[in-house]
Amino acid sequence: MDEATTGSRDTAFTPSYLRTAAGILRQRPDIAIGVLVIAVMVVLALFADLIAPYDPNRTSLLDSLMPMSAEHWLGTDSLGRDVLSRLIHGTRVSLQVGVFAVFSAAAVGTFLGLLAGYFRGIPDMIIMRLMDALISVPPIILAIALAAVLGGGVDNVVIALAVALLPTYARVMRSLVLVIRELDYVVSARVAGAGPLRIMIQHIAPNCLPSLVVLMTLNMGHAILAEASLSFLGIGITPPQAAWGAMVSDGYRYMLQDPSLSLIPGVCVIVAVLAFNLAGDGLRDLLDPRLKGQL
């Protein structure tokens, strides 16, 4: 009966995601666009020093506020710095902040949510009331307050945004754990004699990953936007480091002479956030078992 019920061996062991990846991208170009933009950003960020035509921080007052030209494709800013080079280096800041803030928030928040959801009772109450306290402060205000206390700079922006994002992860993780801990295979692991640690790490956590990956991708966009806001307000990345938000803010004073100084970094923020949202939405659809076969 074995061969009859399992069907052909070769197809059974080819990972289905490899067989369908090409088909999905054909039917969902939005996902492809999002992923492509993110890939370009990653390349720019990794190799910023090689790609950028000029040193992003080299000032030259004689060349200030130059229009677009063959030498300076996107012109120069009020201090004569090459806008294209600063944009490329700004990509690095945006991605750095997005990735580090989201990953640290996810790591800590997921752990807290796992404890709260699994043990419930008193640990649940303590952890979730702390998260409620955090979430009751609007995230951008929280980040501003933290940035004001800690000062500017990439590290502190990351910490501020991670703290602001933390409660989301704790809450999402807790709600996932509450469902999964009652599922048959978790009960079955308990009946087979597995202890709490093993059940949490081996059986519950991996099953929460799909939802968390989607949330993290979407949050990456939020974090980039928040970093730009903080930098625009002057409490994020410290000058002269190039960051998109700070560039919008710098260019804003020369709006009438050269609106592109503000508009182009602004567009970069929009494109980056949009890319992460597209990728995140796409991932959610792909990972949602109810939509399997419809894509």
Partner 1 sequence: MAGAGRPDPDLPEADAAPTLSVRGLSTEFRAGGRVRRVVDDVSFDVKRREILAFVGESGSGKSVTFLSVLRLIADPPGRIVDGSVLFDGEDLMTLDPKGARMRSIRGGGIGFVFQEPMTSLNPVLTIGRQIMESLRLHLDMGRREARARAAGLLSAVGIGDAERRLGAYPHEFSGGMRQRIMIAIAVACSPRLIIADEPTTALDVTTQAQILELLAGTVRDLGASLVLITHNLGIVARYADRINVMYAGRIVESGATDDVFADPRHPYTRALLDCVPRLGETRKLAPIAGQPPDAGTAFAHCPFLPRCARALPVCRTAPPPRLADVAPNHSAACHAAELPE
Residues found near partner 1 in the complex (CB under 8 A)? 1-3, 5-6, 9, 12-13, 183-195, 198, 202-203, 206-207, 209
Sign of the torsion formed by the C-alpha atoms of 227, 89, 56 and 71: negative
CA proximity to 45, closest of 98, 101, 93: 93
Nearer to partner 1, 186 or 230 (CB): 186
Compute CA 217 distance to the chain's CA centroid, rounded to the nearest angstrom. Answer: 5
Q: How far is the CB of 2 from partner 1 (least distance, A)?
A: 4
Nearest distance from residue 184's CB to partner 1, in Å?
Answer: 4
Shortest Å, Cβ 185 to partner 1? 4
Nearer Cβ to partner 1 (209/270): 209
With b for 16 or more beta-carbon neighbours within 10 A and e for fewer, the 270-285 pattern comes to eebbebbbbbbbbbbb
Nearer to partner 1 among residue 13 and residue 70 (C-beta): 13
Nearest alpha-carbon partner for 224 in 238, 241, 239, 236: 236
CA-wise closest residue to 169 among 214, 236, 122, 125: 214
Residue with tokens 């602004």: 266
Task: Match 């709600």 to its residue by tokens.
Answer: 175
Return d(Cα 253, Cα 251) in angstroms, integer: 5
Query: Given the complex with partner 1, which of 207 and 277 has the nearer CB atom?
Result: 207
Would you say the C-alpha torsion 93, 96, 98, 100 has a positive or negative sign? Answer: negative
Least distance in angstroms from the C-beta of 115 to partner 1: 16
Q: Which is closer to partner 1, CB of 185 or CB of 252? A: 185
Q: Take residue 135 and report the two structure tokens written for it.
A: 């979430």
Q: Which is nearer to partner 1, 203 or 222 (CB)?
A: 203
To partner 1, the closest distance from the beta carbon of 203 in angstroms equals 5
Alpha carbons 250 and 87: distance in angstroms, whole number = 13
> What's the closest the beta carbon of residue 127 comes to partner 1, in angstroms?
20
CB contact at 8 A, 130 and 109: no
Amino acid found at 199? I
Please identify, using beta-carbon distances, which residue of 101 and 186 lies nearer to partner 1. 186
Contact status, residue 159 vs residue 166, Cβ threshold 8 Å: no
Shortest Å, Cβ 209 to partner 1: 8
